[in-house]
Structure 1
Amino acid sequence: MTLNHSRAVALMLLITLMWSIAGVVSRHFEAARGFEVTFWRSAFNVLALVVVLGALRGRALWRDLRHGGWPLWASGLCWMVMYTNFMLAITMTTVATVLITMSIAPLLTALFSRVFLRHAMPLRTWLAIAVAGAGIAWMFGSQALAQNAGGGSMAGALVALGVPIAGASNFTLLQWLHQRHAADPAVAEPEMLPAVLIGALLSALLTLPMALPFQATGHDLSLLAMLGLVQLAIPCLLVVRVAKVLPAPEISLLGLLEVIFGVLWAWLGAGEAPGATALQGGALVIGALLANEAVALRGRRLAAQPVPTA
C-alpha cells in the first residue's frame, strides 16, 4: 500500500478508532475476567493474523520469521507487552484511568526519538504534545483523584504504564530501521509485519496458564473474537505500514485520539458519561492535533511550491 503523508494521517485516525473499542466491549463480558480475557483476545488475534499474513505474504511469512533477526523479535516483545498489559489493566480499573496513563505515550516517544534517533522535534509538535497532555489531564484528572480517594486500586494504572513504554520503544525501533535503510539502501529493511504475530502468540502463551479454568461464555467469546480481529489484528498491521511514512512522535500524538474515542464509546455504549470537564479537555486534544496537522500541511505545501526565478 503506497501512502503519502495525508493518507497516512487519515489511516492513523482509522487505526485509533479501531483501537478505542476495547474498553466499551470489555464492559459487556458476562463471565470472562482478567487473564482469560487477555488470553482469548490474543489467541483470536493469532488466528486472524495467521490468515491475513498468510494471504499477504504466503510462504514469505515463514522466511520473514526465520530471518527477521533481533529487530523482529524485539518488536514482537513490545507488541506482547502492549497486548497483555492493556487488556489486563482494562479489567483491573476504569477505562479512564488506563487511558490517562497511556496518554504519556507522545512524551515518551518524543524523548526516545530524541535520545536514540537524534530526531529534531519541531516546536509545533512539542506545543501540540503539551496542549494535548493538558487536555488529557483536564479530562480525567478529577476522576482519577476521586477514584484514589475512594480506595480505587492503582495496580491497573501501573500495569497500563507498560503500554506507552512498549509503544514508544516499538515506534522508535521501526523508525530507526526505516531511517537506516533510507540512509544506506544496501542495508535491507526487515519485514516487520510478522512482529505483530509474534507479539500476539507470546501474549497468548504467557497468559494461558493463568487463564485456566476457562469461564467465558459463548457471548464473551464472540466479543473477544471481534476484538482479536477488528481491535488488534487489522489496526496493528496497518500501523506498521504507517510507521514508514509518519515520524514516531507524530504517530504517538495522533494515537492520543484513542483516548477521545475510547471515552466516547464508553459514554454511548456503557453509560460512562464523561461530564463537562471531559468534553472541554477533549476539545483541547482535538484542537492540538488539528493545529499540528494544519501547520505541517501548510509547510509541505509551501515547500512544494516552485521557487520563482528572476
Structure 2
Amino acid sequence: MRAGTPGYGTGILLVLGATVGWSLAGMFVRFLPGLDGWQINCWRGFWMSVFLLAYLVAIYGNQTLAKFRAIPLPALIIVAGFFTAGSTLYVTSLTLAGTATVSVIGALSPIFAGLLSPWLTREKPSLASWMAAIMAVVGVGIIAWDGFSAGNVVGILVALVVPFSFSVQTMMLRRYRAFDMVPAICAGGFATFLLAGAMGYVFGGHPGGGFQVGIHDVLLLALMGPLQLSVPLIWYAKGAKAVPAVTLTLVAMLDVVLNPFWSWLGVGEVPAHAAFVGGFIIVSAVLISIFGDRWLNGRRARAA
C-alpha cells in the first residue's frame, strides 16, 4: 500500500464522514428560503472551491500549482467536468421532473459504477456488491413511492446524467488515487459557480442570474460551502484511495437516509413509514457492501 494511503477501515470512515456532511444540505437550505437552486449552487460551488484552494495552499504552499499540473489532464478535465455537470444538472432535473423521480434515478449511481468500473478502474464488482446496489435502488424506491411522479422524458434523461456523473467522478478518483485529486474538484467548483450563475439568467429569471444573492445569504453560503461540500469532498477523495468504487457510491447512498433524519431531529418532521422501511433496506445494503466480501472470503478461507 502506498505511503499516505488509508487502510480500508479508515477509508470507510472517511466516506461515512463525507456522507454525513453532504446530508446537511437540507438543513442549510431551510435557512435560505429566498434563494432558488441556481443561486445556491452558484455560491455554494464558489465558496467550496475558495476553501479547497486555501486548504491546498496551506498543505502544499508554493507547490500548489504543481499539484494541479501533476494530475493527468484527462483526469483533471473529467473530474472537474463531471462534478460541474452533476451539480448543475441536478438542479435542472428538479425543474423538469418530480423530486421523488430524481431521487430514485439518483440511486442508480452504484449500478453505473458496477457496470463501468471493470473498464475505468479495472475492478470487477463482486456478487455482494451487485446485491447491495440492487437493494439500495429498491430502498430508495420504497422511500419515494408515496410521492412518485413520472415526470417527462426530458426530465428523466437529464436526471440520469446526475448519478452517471457521480459514478464517473468517483471512478476517476479511484483510478487516479496515486494523485491528490482535490485540485480537480476545486476546478470543478469554480466551473459550477460560472455555469450555475449563467443558467440562473435562463431558468431562474433573475436580472443578475445565479450570481444575484444578498450579502446575508452569501455569508451563510460561505459557511455551507466548506462544511457541506469542501470538507466532505476532501474526505471522500482520501477514502477513494482505499475503497472500491461501487462501495464508495453505496456508502454515499446513506445521504437518502440521513437527510430526513436531520430534519426529524432538528425541526421535528417525522418521516413517513416508507422512509423507515426504505432506510432499513439502504443501511442493510451498505453493510453488505462494506462487510459482505470479507465475510464471504473468510468463509471460503476457513472451508479451504
Superposition TM-score, scaled by structure 2 size: 0.83
1:40 and 1:93 mapped to 2: Cα distance? 24
Paired with 1:124 and 1:236, the residues of 2 have a C-alpha distance of 26
1:6 aligns with 2:14: no
2:114–2:124 CA contact under 8 A, matched in 1: no
The one-letter code matched in structure 1 to 2:275 is A
1:209 aligns with 2:183: no
Aligned match of 1:84: 88
Q: How many positions carry a matched residue from both structures?
A: 292
CA contact (8 A) 1:31 1:217 kept: no
The residue type equivalent to 1:47 in the other structure is: V
Question: Which residue is equivalent to 1:274?
Answer: 271
Aligned to 1:168: 167
Does the 8 Å CA contact 1:72/1:190 hold for their aligned counterparts? no
**2:204 counterpart residue number:** none
Does the 8 Å CA contact 2:93/2:156 hold for their aligned counterparts? yes
Asked if 1 retains the 8 angstrom alpha-carbon contact of 2:109 and 2:167, the reply is yes
Give the C-alpha shift of residue 61 in structure 1: 1.7
Equivalent residues of 2:113, 2:167 under 8 A apart: yes
Deviation at residue 293 of structure 1 after TM alignment: 2.5
- Greater Cα offset, 91-100 or 238-247: 91-100
Matched residue type, 1:244? K
1:174: Cα distance to partner? Answer: 2.8
Check whether the contact 1:103–1:164 (CA below 8 A) recurs between aligned residues: yes
Letter in 1 for 2:32: F
Which amino acid in structure 1 is aligned with residue 104 of structure 2? I
Contact 1:103 1:136 in 2 (8 A): yes
Q: Residue 245 of structure 1 aligns with which residue?
A: 242
Q: Are the aligned partners of 1:39 and 1:207 in contact in 2 as well (CA < 8 Å)?
A: yes
Identical pairs, percent: 27
Match status 1:193 vs 2:182: yes
Matched to 1:133, the amino acid is V
**Contact 2:10-2:239 within 8 A present in 1 as well:** no
Change (3 A) 1:215 1:73: closer
How big is the shift at 1:160? 3.9
What is residue 43 of structure 1 aligned with on the other side?
46
CA offsets 1:163-193 (integer angstroms, 9 cap, x no match): 2111111222233334xxxxxxxxxx44322
Q: Please name the residue that 1:24 is paired with.
A: 27
Residue 64 of structure 1 deviates from its aligned partner by: 2.2
AA partner of residue 37 (structure 1): I
1:263-288 deviation digits (Å, cap 9, x = unpaired): 22344456654311111111111122
Partners of 2:180 and 2:17 in 1: CA distance: 23
Displacement after TM superposition at 1:304 (Å): 9.6
Contact persistence 2:126–2:293 (CA under 8 A): no
Task: Within 5 Å, give how 1:253-268 maps onto structure 2.
Answer: 253-268=250-265
Which residue of 1 is the match for residue 218 of structure 2? 221
Of residues 98, 103, 118, the one that matches 1:99 is 103
Contact 1:30 1:216 in 2 (8 A): no
Query: What does residue 203 of structure 2 align with?
Result: none
2:221 is matched by which residue type in structure 1?
A: L
Equivalent residues in 2 for 1:114-133, closer than 5 Å: 114-133=118-137
* 1:15 partner letter: A
Preserved CA contact (<8 Å) 1:30 1:217:
no
The letter for the 2-side match of 1:28 is F
Unaligned runs of 5+ in 2: 201-206
Alpha-carbon shift at residue 253 of structure 1 (Å) = 1.1
TM-score (norm 1): 0.82
1:88–1:47 Cα change, 3 Å: farther
CA RMSD of aligned residues (A): 3.0
Match of 1:140 in 2: 144
Equivalent pair of 2:5/2:241 in contact (CA under 8 Å): no
Q: Deviations over 1:36-72 (max 9, x none)?
A: 2211111111211111111122222211223422212
Amino acid at match of 1:241: K
Cα gap change, 1:169/1:250 in structure 2, threshold over 3 Å: closer, same or farther? Answer: same
* Counterpart-to-counterpart distance in 2, 1:239 and 1:226: 19
Q: Which runs of 5+ in 1 are unaligned?
A: 179-188
Deviation at residue 25 of structure 1 after TM alignment: 2.1
